Amino acid sequence: MAKTILIALALIAGILAVMFLQPHRPEPVPSAQELLAMGQFVVEQNGNRIITEDYTLAYTESAGYILVSQARLEQGKVKATFAQQYQLNPDFSLSFYQLGIDIQSASQIVSAQPRGKGLRMEVRAGDQVRTHDVPDRTDTFILDNNLVTQYQLLIMAIEAERLDRDFTALVPQALLEIPAHLDGPNRVTFTSEGADYEGKLYTLRLGDLSITIITYNARLAALFNPAQGTMAYDATLFPHGISYPGAAATAPARAAKEKEVTFQSGDVTLAGTLALPAGDGPFPAVLVIVGSGPVDRNEDMPGVNSDVTAQIAASLAKVGIASLRYDKRGVGKSDGEFKTASLTDFVSDARAALAFLRDQPTLDPSRIFVLGHSEGGIIAPILAEDDPTIAGLILLAAPAHSLDYIIRHQIEELNRTAGKSDEEVQSALKQEDQYLEFVRESHGQWSDYSFDQLKAAMPWLTQETLPQLTSLPLPWLREHFHHDPLETIKNVTCPVLIIQGEKDFQVPPGEADLLAGALRAAGNTDVTVGLFPDLNHLMRHHP
């Protein structure tokens, strides 16, 4: 994904391993002698405040630069806190980094520590530990998810010529290394509350993102991220935000015409966006089905603003193709209850969306395609199996195996990547197998079981790990565990395009060839596979 504003938690717009989380708290860092700055940053998306980060930046000759911050994310029903302790030596090299994350009764500790010439990034969630080693930390800099204040240190390090302008950004929450380049500064005039100010403008190229950074009197004043449609600003200096001539260009890409629509799926009203090209039509159209988790029509969730499907819609519109994307039930503006939804519910919703799309007067009903990403790539073939009039399928990062197989594979890979012994790996798999078996044989909802009943099936379960265990709908898990995508895909007769990133750590890249092989073995000769070596699960650049 190489997406820098991500939360590396249990389920992010795709299929991730189930992790059982234990609460942790970071220890305090030493106090500072010289206070360099303090205040609050605010992050807004489309005019709505989603993050506030209170910070203190200090300096001592012995310890160097000490940044302490507390960020609060609130978007929809989701609330999260991020407690950061970030220390750089006087030469701006890494001394210590730790981040405590609490979100909906689940906790993580994220850290980065020097190890010889390199460093180790670690994500600890309960008994689960994932690590990534960077062999050489020269010209590396931490720019973690959902934290604005780190960009102040970045500019200071660049201006002090302690960091090369071509550097590697480290994202410990996602255990990522991302190539980065900083241009500038250039002079910029920006406005706040009707007054003009002279500042400096930098452009940061971060993987496939371009971020505009503005400073004022050597302090970070604002960040603009066009891909996410976000603006961050120092509310202590500029309580009402800032604007500058290039700010209009930071709006995320959108189609020429976008129309807010609603449609019915049984007794549930779903909300979505109908994106139309310029012109009169009739246009071919694509139904876009998003991935798993409580994601909206743009494949965003609180704190995870991927904007993947919105960008797809904009690109389709440029070449004359309309599209419909919609919020999942219980998410965004859609009615219903996500926490109790099943795979059957989501399939029904997709069928309703398809029927709605076909009824639009500006569209050609004979040229309706279905695009599914991740879980959407499971649902799309289910639609095509029953509806031969679908013009074609586009499957992005679609699994070929059932979800229980994918989860078990991920648990094994996570533990081996963390350097666990074979004995430890087998112990983790034994616990996971108990969980998977319980789900397969379950009935109803999580609320139908007492804690004692759950613990009888999973002896390792604690009250602390229970909220994470039950965070995904039990009917949804159960149906996915019993659904075989390969059996479904055999019955698809329309043209199929399969796109897969080879840096996808959620869905193994080999799944694409398995899907294609099943299609061809069943007699479908119109199958195309595109494997991209540097793309991840969200179709983002991942070096």
At 182-196, the pLDDT tens digits run 999 999 999 999 999
pLDDT at 47: 78
Annotated domain spans of the chain: 34-250, 257-401+484-532, 403-481
pLDDT in the model for residue 25: 37
* pLDDT on residue 7: 29
Q: Determine the pLDDT at residue 68.
A: 96
Predicted local distance difference test score (pLDDT) of residue 252: 57
pLDDT of residue 449: 96
Residues of the chain predicted below pLDDT 70: 1-33, 76-77, 104-105, 127, 246-256, 302-305, 417-418, 542-543
Residue 4's pLDDT is what?
Answer: 31
Three-class DSSP category at 438: helix
Q: Are 309 and 444 in contact (CB under 8 A)?
A: no
**pLDDT single digits (tens) 397-426:** 999 999 999 889 888 877 776 677 889 889
**What share of residues in the chain are helix, strand, coil (percent, to 5)?**
25, 40, 40
pLDDT given at position 229 = 74
We find that the CATH architecture of domain 257-401+484-532 is 3-Layer(aba) Sandwich (3.40)
Residue 413: predicted pLDDT? 78
Q: Hey, CA dihedral for 149, 155, 158, 164, is it positive or negative?
A: positive
